[in-house]
Amino acid sequence: MNKRVKELLDNMEKVIVGKRFVLKHFLVALLNNGHVLIEDVPGVGKTQIVACLARSVNGVFNRIQFTPDVMPSDIMGFSMFNPSTREFEYREGAAMCNFLLADEINRASPKTQSSLLEIMEEYQVTVDGKTYPLPKPFMVLATQNPIESFGTYPLPEAQMDRFFIKLSIGYPEKDEEKLIIDRFGAENPLDELQPVCSISDILKLQEEVKRVKVEDSLKSYIIDIVNETRKNQYAVVGGSPRGSLSLYRASKAWAYINGRDYILPDDIQQMAIPVLSHRIIINQEAKMNNITSDDVVKEALLNVEVPVLELAQ
């Protein structure tokens, strides 16, 4: 494992208990400048992980609590007239940061949610005809509660497709939960957490991930998996071309995190569900039979032949 990546994981585990596997998925997104949708019940540490990640890399962290009255200008910024200069000046919104936590994103109105589309795809904001680039790296880390529907607005498909991966944190084991009580009983260890790398370090890691080698047979394997999701009888919409590209990039990052400069079929299989499942829309028949988009991806993995690599021989 890369030394810097290990330091990041070890540092985050000073706060986050028993979720190293989930933390590695967060780093996969970070190393690709990708956005993360965290869907889980309240109280499992969604916000803590995001704050922990931002503090570990000494990045600028902004949080916006999404509610129906949040306006696009709160996120993108706005122009204000300055009487002394007699000119309009841009006032930054919450998006001008490295890590934007969109807490309970599905509570914002569709109009406000749509303001994130340009931000998430083009890493810029456009206000009154002028475009302002976002800092590098930049990630949207959005949370939503899967069990509440009152007062929420489902995320549009175009926005879901812009999330690099979708994660669930899950409940801790009994011994881990005891450790959480011991660790957080008196004070929050996040308050004492120190950065272990800089923004420039992250940008260097992102460049190193791009150099991870991928055989043509594995590129075809990725495309075949995504195509298989499109053919599934339960899928109204299968994985998109953006999904194929995201799976390719995620597999490279997973290989890099695990100390390799080349990817294996296992890397693709490991990344397939978090990268593809939220991009798939299932039909009513699937819902009646308790079939999920995760099941569609699993079936695709079973149906596609795994290539044999010269590298592994």
Confidence grade of residue 125 (pLDDT, cut at 50, 70, 90):
very high
Average predicted confidence (pLDDT) for the chain: 88
Q: Which residue has the tokens 């931002």?
A: 54
pLDDT on residue 304? 94
Q: What is the pTM of this model?
A: 0.89
Q: In the chain, what are the domain boundaries?
A: 3-202, 211-303
- Answer yes or no: CATH 3.30.70.100 is held by domain 3-202: no
> Angle between the 241-257 and 20-30 helix axes, to the nearest 10 degrees?
120
For residues 190 and 194, what is the distance between their CA atoms, to the nearest angstrom? 9
211-303: in CATH 3.40.1080.10: no
Residue range 107-124, pLDDT digits in tens: 888 888 888 888 999 999
Token readout for 31 is 């190393």
Residues 6+ apart with CB under 8 A from 182: none
Contact call for residues 195 and 55 (beta carbons, < 8 A): yes
User: Does residue 173 carry a pLDDT above 50?
Assistant: yes
Please check the confidence at residue 35 and state whether its pLDDT lies above 50: yes
**Has residue 148 got a pLDDT over 70?**
no
Query: Would the CATH topology of 3-202 be identical to that of 211-303?
Result: no
